[in-house]
Amino acid sequence: MNGAQALIESLADCGVELCLANPGTSEMHLVQALDQVPRMRSVLALFEGVCTGAADGYARMSGKPAATLLHLGPGLANGIANLHNARKAGSPIINLVGNHPQYHMGYDAPLTSDVDTLARNFSCWIKSSSTAQSLAGDGVNAWTASMRANPDSQGQISTLILGADAAWGESKGKVSPPAIPKRATVDEAAIRDVANVLALDEPTLFLMEQQALSADALEFAGKLAAQHGCRIMSGTFPGRVDGGAGRVKLERLPYFPEQVEASLAGIKHLVLVGAKPPASFFAYQGSSSLLVPDGCQVHTLARVEEDAVDALARLSELSGADNATISRFELGDMSLPTGPLKSRHMLQVIAASLPENVIVATDSGAGNAAHPVCQSAAPHSWLSLTGGSIGQGGPVSTGAALACPDRPVLALLGDGGAAYTIQSLWTQAREQLNVTTVIFANRKYNILNVEYARLGVTEVGPIAESLFDIGNPNIDWASLARGFGVEAITVDSCESLADALQQSWKTPGPVLIEVLC
pLDDT in tens, 127-152: 999 999 999 999 999 999 999 755 55
pLDDT-derived band of residue 153, with 50, 70 and 90 as boundaries? low
pLDDT-derived band of residue 59, with 50, 70 and 90 as boundaries? very high
Distance separating alpha carbons of residues 34 and 20, to the nearest angstrom? 11
pLDDT (mean) for 439-468: 87
- Residue 444 makes CB contacts below 8 A (sequence gap 6+) with 416, 468, 469, 470, 471
Range from 225-229, 270-274, 467-471 carrying the lowest mean pLDDT:
467-471
Distance separating alpha carbons of residues 196 and 369, to the nearest angstrom? 37
Q: Please give the model's pTM, rounded to 2 decimal places.
A: 0.96
Cβ atoms of residues 114 and 73 within 8 Å: yes
Helical ranges in 323-444 per DSSP H: 343-353, 365-374, 393-403, 415-418, 424-431
Cβ atoms of residues 98 and 164 within 8 Å: yes
At residue 266, what is the residue type?
G
pLDDT of residue 248: 98
pLDDT of residue 28: 96
pLDDT-derived band of residue 394, with 50, 70 and 90 as boundaries? very high
Per-residue pLDDT for 58 more than 60? yes
pLDDT (mean) for 488-509: 97
pLDDT (mean) for 471-482: 96
Strand order across the 380-383 sheet: 241-243, 380-383, 358-362, 409-414, 435-441, 511-516, 487-491
Q: Which helix (H) or strand (E) holds 501?
A: helix 494-506
Neighbours of 335 (CB within 10 A): 8
Distance separating alpha carbons of residues 67 and 180, to the nearest angstrom? 17
pLDDT of residue 243: 97
Distance separating alpha carbons of residues 386 and 374, to the nearest angstrom? 19
Per-residue pLDDT for 337 more than 70? yes
Cα Rg of the chain, angstroms: 24
Strand positions, DSSP E, 384-494: 409-414, 435-441, 487-491
What's 211's DSSP letter?
G
pLDDT of residue 154: 63
What is the chain's mean pLDDT, rounded? 95
Distance separating alpha carbons of residues 131 and 174, to the nearest angstrom? 13
Cβ atoms of residues 48 and 79 within 8 Å: yes
At residue 379, what is the residue type?
P
Query: Which pLDDT tens digit goes with each residue over 175-225?
Result: 999 988 788 999 999 999 999 999 999 999 999 999 999 999 999 999 999
Cβ atoms of residues 299 and 197 within 8 Å: yes
Query: Which pLDDT tens digit goes with each residue over 288-303?
Result: 999 999 999 999 999 9
- 491, β-bridge pairs: 515
> 3-state DSSP call for residue 468?
helix
Distance separating alpha carbons of residues 117 and 17, to the nearest angstrom? 28
